[in-house]
Amino acid sequence: MSGIILERSDGVGVITIDRPEKLNALTLAMYDELSDVFDEIRDDPAIGVAILTGAGDRAFCVGADLKESIPALAEERFDISEWDGAHQKHSRLFKPVIAAVNGLCLGGGFEIMLSTDLRIAADTARFGLPEAGVGVVPAGGTLARLTRQIPYPWAMELLLTGQPVDAVTAERRGLVNRVVPAGDLLDEAFALAHRLLECSGTSLSVIKSATAQLSEMPLNAAFHAEALYGQQAFASPDAKEGLAAFSEGRTPRFPSRTEATKQPPEGHERG
């Protein structure tokens, strides 16, 4: 059965969009499932980092299943804001999310990728926003996010022309952090996830929360709020442990990571 799969492994939650026979196109139900999985990761202290990928090697995700979603939208049987959870528009998930992009990353799949924090692409990946060519627009966060994440003319080229770009171009334009051979994609994503798990969970949460909030504020107000975030982090148990470990010349054992070191339960499929 196709759906959204969540598996746990040593503090990492691996989310797989599992509909490879349809290039991991999302049904309306799968959008809801993806939103629920993000909430589950948010609330699970045993998960410190998430990896998001697509099943198979042909596609990360090509967005919504148009045979289902376009008629629903056209007949006003569906409100596109119901996808906000899957697009993390108002997310309270302050844990890092890594996109491991395999194959096609188009339309709504591109939009979901934009909601992640770190992105590793297979050398076979291709990225595009074909919406303008079919009379719609990418309203799943892209119109708000893309020009904030990459330079304006490159963003507009993707938005206005609908022409896809390859992985190397995506890296050069700042859409992804790095490109790796397709066979190494998940290994590289796990290596990055485990590097993040060596850091303070409190620090990562504060950093992600702060950058989301401060980017929307005038500079002076942002400086004030930044100081409050800093005080929050400096007063945390993780800070006490980190500073003690530094002075003692040992590896810190952050309290925020205690749960993530416990034996994880088995993975499960939703949908």
H or E, element range at 186: helix 185-197
Q: Is residue 42 part of a domain?
A: yes
Whether 131 is a known active-site residue: answer yes
| Measured distance CA(26)–CA(73) in Å, rounded | 15
User: What integer pLDDT is reported at residue 91 of this predicted model?
Assistant: 79
Q: Is residue 22 part of a domain?
A: yes
Q: What is the pLDDT of residue 263?
A: 37
The residue assigned the tokens 């119901």 is 82
The tens digit of pLDDT for each residue in 143-158 reads 999 999 999 999 999 9
According to the model, what pLDDT value does residue 271 have? 41
Q: Domains in the chain: how many in total?
A: 2
User: Does 77 share its domain with 107?
Assistant: yes
Residues 139 and 215 in one domain: no
**Confidence check: pLDDT of 264 > 90:** no
- What size, in residues, is the chain? 271
Q: What is the pLDDT of residue 18?
A: 98
Q: Is residue 2 over pLDDT 90?
A: no
Per-residue pLDDT of 32-77, as tens digits, reads 999 999 999 999 999 999 999 999 999 999 999 988 776 766 666 6
Q: Give me the pLDDT at residue 179, please.
A: 99
Residue 46, domain extent: 3-197
pTM here? Answer: 0.91
Number of H helices, E strands in the chain: 10, 11
75 as an active site residue: the answer is no
pLDDT tens for 196-244 read: 999 999 999 999 999 999 988 999 999 999 999 999 999 999 999 999 9
Is residue 132 domain-shared with residue 119, that is, in the same domain?
A: yes
Fill in the DSSP letter of residue 259: G
pLDDT of 261 above 50: no
CA 212 vs CA 85, 190, 216, 229: distances in Å: 16, 24, 7, 12
Q: What is the pLDDT, as a whole number, of residue 87?
A: 86
Helices 201-214 and 219-234: crossing angle, nearest 10°? 170
Assigned domain for 265 exists: no
- List the one residue out of 156, 155, 111, 106 whose CA is nearest residue 127: 106
- Residues 103-115: tens digit of each pLDDT: 999 999 999 999 9
Residue among 33, 76, 131, 248 flagged as catalytic? 131
What is d(CA 121, CA 177) in angstroms, rounded to the nearest whole number?
A: 8
Based on the fold, state whether residues 193 and 241 are members of the same structural domain: no
191 lies in the same domain as 215: no
Reported as a single tens digit per residue, the pLDDT across 119-175 is 999 999 999 999 999 888 999 999 999 999 999 999 999 999 999 999 999 999 999
CB 83 within 8 A of CB 29: no
Q: In terms of DSSP bridges, do strands 12-18 and 3-9 run parallel, antiparallel, or are they unpaired?
A: antiparallel
Q: Are residues 244 and 183 in the same domain?
A: no
CATH classification at residue 131: 3.90.226.10
Report in angstroms the alpha-carbon separations of 236 from 19, 205, 245, 251, 259: 42, 12, 14, 17, 17
Same domain, 119 and 106: yes
pLDDT on residue 214: 94
Query: What pLDDT sits at residue 187?
Result: 98
- Give the tens place of pLDDT for each residue, 181-200: 999 999 999 999 999 999 99
Does 142 lie in the same domain as 75? yes
Banded pLDDT at 258 (limits 50, 70, 90): confident
Tell whether 92 is covered by a domain: yes
CATH number reported for the structural domain that contains residue 232 in this entry: 1.10.12.10
Catalytic residue among 111, 171, 188, 241: 111
Is 95 inside a domain boundary?
A: yes
